[in-house]
């Protein structure tokens, strides 16, 4: 054994110590590899936790704004939940639609609640809707009811009745006794049914008033037609009575050579014009006789 292979002074290790050192190095390398492999998973878990915490914070902020009647602010904060709430995405649209409904924008509320209704968990076919679905349906129904109220205020009861019918259909089995919608859904369904009946009565009354106006216009036109027909027929009757009491007498008179008499009787102005022409003719004949024409019996002036 040479001096090169001997351990330095003070660093002599036994076989067990060398084995333990090698095992420690292998264990440290394994830990480093596990840490590198688990880094993406840890990052995903961190982001998920951050999203959940952000969703809780935004939900609390939106709820606080909603309770203080700051509905537009609440809607904006609930809108941010669409990105952060990945566990129950329907809640973001439900909360946003509810806040918009509370602000009085019923049509915009139906758009968000429509998305929430598509995303909310559904009960198996043949079973009544669950509580979450009934909550969405109830608020959706209230938004449709608001549209019906606006239509009635605008004087369109037909459109209002249609919205009330849609609102009742939206409640489905939630508003019935024992449904998962609770008392609020049941009261909404009863109120919407009553509003629909009132809107239908208003529609019938409006149609009757419109028919009455149309009938009044028709009656006002009939006297006009009667008067015009009376005015147009009275001269004809007068002419026929003057010519013999028959309506066809002008045609018979025209065949007898007296074609001008009906025209003269029809137009007083033509009668006056005819009399003036006769006077002018008589005056011309008198002048001609005075000048020596005719039978010579005229006088010179």
Cβ atoms of residues 176 and 186 within 8 Å: yes
Going 240 to 245 to 251 to 255, the CA torsion angle's sign is negative
Residue 208 in domain: yes
The pLDDT value recorded for residue 289 is: 59
Are 196 and 144 in a shared domain? yes
pLDDT classification of 179: cutoffs 50, 70, 90: low
176 and 100, same domain (yes or no): no
One domain, residues 187 and 154: yes
What average pLDDT does this structure show over 244-267? 42
Residue 25 has pLDDT above 80, yes or no: yes
Q: How confident is the model at residue 177 (pLDDT cuts 50, 70, 90)?
A: low
Is 259 or 193 the better-scoring residue by pLDDT? 193
Q: Considering the domain boundaries, does residue 90 fall inside one?
A: yes
Domain membership flag for residue 77: yes
Is the pLDDT at 175 greater than 80, yes or no? no
How confident is the model at residue 253, as a pLDDT?
43
Same domain assignment for residues 198 and 142 = yes
Domain boundaries, position 151: 128-218
Last residue of a domain, one of 218, 241, 257: 218
Q: Tell me whether residue 153 is in a domain.
A: yes
* Overall pTM surpassing 0.85 (yes/no): no
Q: Which residue has the tokens 């084995």?
A: 19
| Residues 153 and 192 grouped into a single domain | yes
pLDDT in tens, 194-224: 999 999 999 999 888 888 877 665 555 544 4
Q: Is 70 in the same domain as 136?
A: no
Is 191 inside any structural domain?
Answer: yes
pLDDT at 225 > cutoff 90 = no
Q: Are 176 and 188 in contact (CB under 8 A)?
A: no
Which pLDDT belongs to residue 162? 95
Domain assignment present for residue 65? The answer is: yes
Mean pLDDT, residues 67-92 taken together: 78
Report residue 236's pLDDT band, with 50, 70 and 90 as the boundaries.
very low
Q: CA-to-CA distance for 266 and 231, rounded, in angstroms?
A: 12
| Domain identity same for 97 and 171 | no
Q: For the chain, what is the domain count? A: 2
> Quick check: is 147 in a domain?
yes
| Domain assignment present for 207 | yes
Contact by Cβ (8 Å): 159, 153: no
Domain end (from 218, 243, 277): 218
- Considering only residues 18 and 197, tell me which one the structure prediction assigns the higher pLDDT: 197
> Residue 175 belongs to a domain with what CATH number?
1.20.58
Domain edge (last residue) among 90, 105, 120: 105
pLDDT at 283 over 50: yes
Are 100 and 108 contacting, i.e. CB atoms less than 8 angstroms apart? yes
133 CB-near residues (< 8 Å, 6+ apart): 117, 120, 121, 122, 123, 174, 180
Tell me what percent of the residues of the chain surpass a pLDDT of 90: 27
DSSP string, 16-41: HHHHHHHHHHHHHHHHHHHHHHHHHH
Query: What mean pLDDT comes out for the span 141-153?
Result: 94
What is the pLDDT at residue 41? 80
Residues 147 and 190 in one domain: yes
At residue 7, the pLDDT reads 57
């Amino acid at each position: 054994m040479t001096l090169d292979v001997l351990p330095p002074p003070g660093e002599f290790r036994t076989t067990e110590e060398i084995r333990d050192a090698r095992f420690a190095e292998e264990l440290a390398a394994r830990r480093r590899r596990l840490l590198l492999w688990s880094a993406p998973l840890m990052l995903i878990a961190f982001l998920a936790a951050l999203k959940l915490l952000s969703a809780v914070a935004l939900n609390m902020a939106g709820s606080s704004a909603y309770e203080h009647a700051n509905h537009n602010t609440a809607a904006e904060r609930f809108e941010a939940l669409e990105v952060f709430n990945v566990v129950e995405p329907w809640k973001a649209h439900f909360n946003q639609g509810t806040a918009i409904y509370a602000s009085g924008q019923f049509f915009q509320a139906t758009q968000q609640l429509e998305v929430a209704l598509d995303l909310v968990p559904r009960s198996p076919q043949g079973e009544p809707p669950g509580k979450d679905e009934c909550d969405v349906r109830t608020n959706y129904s209230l938004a449709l009811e608001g549209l019906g109220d606006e239509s009635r205020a605008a004087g369109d009861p037909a459109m209002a009745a249609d919205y009330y019918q849609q609102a009742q259909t939206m409640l489905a089995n939630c508003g019935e006794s024992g449904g998962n919608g609770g008392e609020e859904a049941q009261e909404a369904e009863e109120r919407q049914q009553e509003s629909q009946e009132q809107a239908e009565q208003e529609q019938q009354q409006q149609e009757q008033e419109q028919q009455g106006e149309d009938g009044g216009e028709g009656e006002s036109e009939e006297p006009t037609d009667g008067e015009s027909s009376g005015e147009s027929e009275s001269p004809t009757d007068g002419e026929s009575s003057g010519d013999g009491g028959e309506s066809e007498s002008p045609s018979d008179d025209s065949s007898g050579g007296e074609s001008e008499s009906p025209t003269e009787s029809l137009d007083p102005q033509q009668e006056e014009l005819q009399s003036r022409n006769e006077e002018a003719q008589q005056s011309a004949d008198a002048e001609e006789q005075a000048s020596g024409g005719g039978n010579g019996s005229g006088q010179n002036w």
